[in-house]
Amino acid sequence: MEQADIDVVSIEGLTIETIIGVYDWEKEKKQQLVLDIQMSWDNQRAATTDDIDDALDYALVSERVSAWVAEKPRQLIETVAEGVATLILNEFGVQNVEVRVAKPGAVPNAKNVAVTVRRSVFDSPFG
């Protein structure tokens, strides 16, 4: 998301409890995922009007993403990252999004494992 003249709205450390994993024991109890999301958004109008209706409502994005992630079990954090990116592109009018999904404690002796996807409406078959 390093493009000149583009604003970025970020959500960092969005923590969601969900069923995630491929092993039997992982399918029986919720685990924590931590998401970092960066979205391209032109903030000029919102900065001028000081009106939430002209801004990217990051609280609403957080609520929607949290609900989507928690709604059903998934096996892979790759699936979560791709799904969150698609949801944001389709529902919130951003042109570019970067989603990092971390799964703390997934590997012994590591803080976490993570997957990062970068997607654009220009790359999407629906864009």
pLDDT in tens, 29-57: 999 999 999 999 999 999 999 999 999 99
Instruction: Identify which of 10, 105, 20 has the alpha carbon closest to the alpha carbon of residue 70.
Output: 20
- 3-state percent breakdown (helix, strand, coil) of the chain, nearest 5: 35, 30, 35
Measuring CA to CA, how many Å separate 83 from each of 36, 59, 91, 93, 100?
Answer: 14, 18, 12, 16, 12
Residue 8 predicted with pLDDT over 90: yes
Is the pLDDT score of 61 beyond 90? yes
Assess if residue 49 is contained within a domain. Answer: yes
CATH code of the domain covering residue 48: 3.30.1130.10
Q: Is residue 3 domain-resident?
A: no
Residue 126 predicted with pLDDT over 90: no
pLDDT tens for 62-90 read: 999 999 999 999 999 999 999 999 999 99
Question: What is the extent of the structural domain holding 30?
Answer: 8-120
Residue 125 lies in a domain: no
Number of domains in the chain: 1
Kindly indicate the confidence band of residue 127, based on its pLDDT and cuts at 50, 70 and 90.
Answer: very low
Residues marked active site are found at 103
- Judge whether 31 and 103 are in contact, CB under 8 Å: yes
As a whole number, the mean pLDDT across the chain is: 93
Q: Which of 19, 9, 12 is nearest to 34 (CA)?
A: 12
Q: Which residue has the higher pLDDT, 96 or 26?
A: 96
2 domain residue, yes or no:
no
What is the pTM (predicted TM-score) of this model? 0.90
**Tokens linked to 62:** 């957080």
